[in-house]
């Protein structure tokens, strides 16, 4: 019986550094970088920057808007996977500092997180091995 | 949720003072990069500590790197937040630097590149907790004034292959911004 977890083995490929200019969306921006570079899967590495305003989800029902300018992104993590048609889909979460100094966090909503001055994005390509995905088996 | 609240659930686009650059993404990539777990020693400034570590990883050469803060301490941690620019020269500027004293690092990211002057420069955003009061804060670090704290700082370093990252003047925003500007020439 599967325990529901899965292990995807692979190796890291190219490293990508991108400067994203003002008013481009953070999540779309990461996906556009993957399209341009032909990257199907990657992990987000040391990335940082600022947003005009930030819009993050705390749960399926709760969305929070943080007002800048600018909201500093002080922690960022996430990955990009490809959907069934091969389109890049980024999942990005972060920790944010408002101009007031208040700290909060959440998952960035696509299309609602425009870059303020700059955003530095570093992506590490993830190349899945031929063995693919191993489903967990309970009791082992 | 009321209509008023719905209307506020929207992020603004902002007009910067200068001409809008045609190209919105500057992207460079390289093959698999050198990666290391590094424990930085207490006492050094963040910029000196990272520059020295990357040089040791790259046979003495200065290289650009992306850094993930894993855990440890800063002492002192000197940082600022974003603020509106009353002069109108920029859309967003920085508050004065504040000294948070000795803090435990909760996370963050940094880029090591070259400043306009050609000197090593680190752009770092991090979040941290004041161990006395338990207060969590974060922001843009002064990486010369911020020093590695007593327990050291563990980081993951991804050397960015042969990519050159350099601070360049940006007429659109009136800020000097890290940008990928080319590749270091390969040595025989």
> Where do the structural domains in chain B lie, given as residue ranges?
30-183
DSSP-assigned states of every residue in A85-133: TS-EEEEEEEEEE-TT--EEEEEEPTTS-BEEEEEEEEEEEEEEEEEEE
Please give the model's pTM, rounded to 2 decimal places.
0.93
Q: Inform me whether the C-beta atom of residue B76 falls under 8 Å from chain A C-beta atoms.
A: no
A114, B13: Cβ pair inside 8 Å?
Answer: yes
Q: Does domain B30-183 have CATH number 3.30.1330.80?
A: yes
CATH architecture of the domain covering A12-128: 2-Layer Sandwich (3.30)
Q: Inform me whether the C-beta atom of residue B83 falls under 8 Å from chain A C-beta atoms.
A: yes
The Cα B136–Cα A74 span in angstroms is 12
Q: In chain A, what are the domain boundaries?
A: 12-128
Q: Inform me whether the C-beta atom of residue A34 falls under 8 Å from chain B C-beta atoms.
A: no
Residues of B in contact with A10 (CB under 8 A): none
Shortest distance between the Cα of A1 and any Cα of chain B, in A, equals 36
**Tens-digit pLDDT profile for residues A9-26:** 999 999 999 999 999 999
Distances (CA, A) of A20 to A28, B70, B96: 11, 25, 26
A13, B32: Cβ pair inside 8 Å?
Answer: yes
Residue B174 pLDDT > 60: yes
> From the CB of residue B161, how many other CB atoms can be counted at a distance below 10 Å?
21
Listed range (A4-13, A29-38, A82-91, B6-15) with the worst mean pLDDT? B6-15
Q: Inform me whether the C-beta atom of residue A79 falls under 8 Å from chain B C-beta atoms.
A: no
Q: Of residues B132 and A89, which shows the higher confidence score? A: A89
Percent pLDDT > 70 in chain B is: 93
């Amino acid at each position: 019986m599967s325990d529901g977890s899965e292990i995807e083995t692979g190796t890291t490929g190219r490293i990508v550094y991108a400067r994203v200019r003002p008013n481009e969306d953070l999540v779309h921006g990461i996906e556009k970088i993957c399209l341009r570079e032909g990257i199907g899967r990657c992990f987000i590495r040391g990335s940082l920057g600022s947003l005009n305003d930030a819009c993050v989800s705390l749960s399926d029902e709760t969305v929070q808007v943080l007002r800048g300018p600018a909201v500093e992104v002080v922690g960022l993590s996430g990955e990009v996977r490809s959907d069934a048609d091969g389109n890049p889909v980024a999942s990005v979460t972060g920790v944010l500092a408002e101009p007031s100094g208040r700290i909060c966090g959440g998952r960035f909503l696509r299309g609602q997180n425009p870059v303020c001055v700059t955003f530095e994005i570093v992506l590490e390509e993830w190349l899945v091995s031929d063995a693919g995905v191993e489903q967990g088996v309970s009791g082992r | 949720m009321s209509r008023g609240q719905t209307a506020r659930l929207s992020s603004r686009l902002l007009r910067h003072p200068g001409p809008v650059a045609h190209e919105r993404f500057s992207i460079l990539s390289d093959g698999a990069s050198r990666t290391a777990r590094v424990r930085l020693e207490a006492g050094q400034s963040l910029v000196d500590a990272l520059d020295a570590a990357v040089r040791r990883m790259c046979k003495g050469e200065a290289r650009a790197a992306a850094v993930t803060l894993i855990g440890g301490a800063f002492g002192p941690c000197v940082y600022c937040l974003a603020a509106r620019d009353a002069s109108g020269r920029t859309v967003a500027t920085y508050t004065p630097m504040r000294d948070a004293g000795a803090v435990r690092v909760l996370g963050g990211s940094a880029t090591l590149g070259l400043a306009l002057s050609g000197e090593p420069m680190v752009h770092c955003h991090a979040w941290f907790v004041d161990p006395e009061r338990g207060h969590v804060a974060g922001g843009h670090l002064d990486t010369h004034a911020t020093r590695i704290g007593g327990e050291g700082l563990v980081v993951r370093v991804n050397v960015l292959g042969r990519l050159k990252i350099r601070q360049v003047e940006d007429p659109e925003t009136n800020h000097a911004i890290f940008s990928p500007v080319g590749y270091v020439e390969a040595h025989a």
